Structure 1
Amino acid sequence: MTSEQPQNQPEDQREIRLAADRNVVIELLDAGGEPEVLRLVVARYPRSPLAWAKLADATFHPDAALESYAYARVGYYRAIEALEAAGWDGSGSIPWSHEPNRGVLRAFYALRRAADAIREHDEVARLTELLTQSDPTAATEIEASRTAPIPVQNPAPPTESIVIRGED
């Protein structure tokens, strides 16, 4: 991943803009939320924070969060690697509005949620601060996308009943 960072921006106002990885996005859309299919996508794209975050989401359950925590932890490290490769030094914004950044932010969020479920309070505080510094709207946007109603597809046209008359 590369950064599309303007060179003349002051250090404290730098924005990281990761490059899009369309193949991962397409395969994740095709996978839906099925953990088994998501595991295959992660196996094909193990460096993708978005793929790891989606797998962490699909396996998350508040009362059994260790599997999700493990996936989210890998996603977090992949996110840090992607950011550092793009020139991030631990500071600067990672805007949610730039869609390729969303995988990184989702990985941070997934780890924070799983850490909260296993009562890792220090980690929750650190990740909350990281998300807020990255983009103050990220957590709210992720939560909204998780709770947004699923669009209703047009149902298939009604089928007609067929009555077969015959002798019993």
Structure 2
Amino acid sequence: MSRSGPPETVLPTVDVAIIHALRQAFEIAPDARRGAIAAVVAKFPTSLHAWAALGRASAPGIEAYMAFRVGYHRGLDQLRASGWRGSGFVRWQHESNRGFLECLEGLAVNAAIIGEEAEAVRCQQFLIQCDPRGRG
């Protein structure tokens, strides 16, 4: 911990090609949207924003849980690569952090839906530790 509090980690800037591809996918008719988002994930499998979008486009429960869980674990890898040591802030105010935080938040919600209460609580606590101010 530094004099100013816990360290803060900011993930690298999101590639504009990913943002563009996701915007295009969201413009597709609702019945084909999830497939279009899945195609973005297939093209950019390390994109936390793409995994978060896939989770949001999935049916609540196990389908969304799977997408958010993959995004969450990919996010942990990216946080570690960015210098995160297992604690410290990962704030919502940074656009590049939002994919990870959305995956963590979605994982908490969908873990509860499928009855994984302990995991849901752990994820909710981790989300608060990442940014006590929330989406703010």
Q: The TM-score by the shorter chain falls in which range? A: 0.7 to 0.9
Paired with 1:56 and 1:69, the residues of 2 have a C-alpha distance of 7
Q: Deviation string for 1:33-82 (max 9, x for gaps)?
A: 71010000000111112111110111133xxx111111111111111011
Aligned AA for 1:27?
A: A
Count how many residue pairs are aligned between Structure 1 and Structure 2.
Answer: 129
% identical aligned pairs = 35
What residue in structure 2 maps to residue 131 of structure 1? 127
Higher percent of residues as helix: 2
What residue in structure 2 maps to residue 163 of structure 1? none
Task: Please list, as runs of the form range in 1=range in 2, the aligned pairs for 1:10-159 lying within 5 A after superposition.
Answer: 10=2, 12-21=5-14, 22-32=16-26, 34-61=33-60, 65-138=61-134, 140=135
CA RMSD of aligned residues (A): 1.7
What residue in structure 2 maps to residue 4 of structure 1? none
In structure 1, stretches of 5+ residues that fail to align are 1-8, 142-168
Higher relative contact order (CA 8 A, sep 6+): 2
4+ long deviations beyond 6 Å: none
The answer to whether the Cα contact below 8 Å between 1:60 and 1:114 also exists between their aligned partners in 2 is: no
Paired with 1:23 and 1:88, the residues of 2 have a C-alpha distance of 26
Which has the larger Rg?
Answer: 1
In structure 2, stretches of 5+ residues that fail to align are none
TM-score by length of 2: 0.87
TM-score by length of 1: 0.72
